[in-house]
Amino acid sequence: MVSENTGETNTVSDLSDLKEIAGDAPAADAAVVAQNSAPLRQQELDAQGRAYATGRRKDAVARVWLKPGTGKITVNGRDQETYFARPTLRLIINQPFGITDRTGQYDVVATVRGGGLSGQAGAVKHGISQALTKYEPELRSTVKAAGFLTRDSRVVERKKYGRAKARRSFQFSKR
């Protein structure tokens, strides 16, 4: 190795020699890491100060708007308790807020179309997760680690010709 300052050649025989050559490199590396730890994404808001995202699950598509508030969730113009009567579906919707410790801090307005109630709850959850990361980009790693940003692509398999359902055959009759 040739040193830039003195022009002399240094040889490295073991790690202690490397420490002398490198000098203050670990502190410089820490500064680079600290500089890179800033959020790479920017906050994305509309003219009203809301974050918008689309969530999908099965055949359901949810359009979600998120803004700071008291924690009120409105789905298709109705309160979440009336739209999603089952407590498990409301639990699914509130998971992104629970994992990020933001329960009761944001109001959500969602419109959902297609699918059944379970698929719609999954779509709203996906949309809330996406909108939350657009409003607070530093939460992205937490939400992504929980798997809420990934669209669950499982859909119902189509019925095939010559079959009773997607895979079930018609009943066999020997005679």
DSSP 99-120: HTT-TTSEEEEEEEESS-HHHH
Range of the domain at 68: 51-145
State residue 175's pLDDT score. Answer: 86
* Structural domain includes residue 87: yes
* Structural domain includes residue 166: no
* pLDDT, tens digit, 9 for 90 and up, residues 87-124: 999 999 999 999 999 999 999 999 999 999 999 999 99
* Structural domain includes residue 151: no
pTM over 0.95: no
* Structural domain includes residue 112: yes
Q: What is the DSSP string of 66-93?
A: EEESS--EEETTEEHHHHS-SHHHHHHH
* Structural domain includes residue 56: yes
How many separate domains does the chain show?
1
Determine contact, residues 36/133, Cβ cutoff 8 Å: no
List the CATH number of the domain containing 92: 3.30.230.10
Instruction: Report which of 42, 66, 43 is spatially closest to residue 54, judged by C-alpha positions.
Output: 66
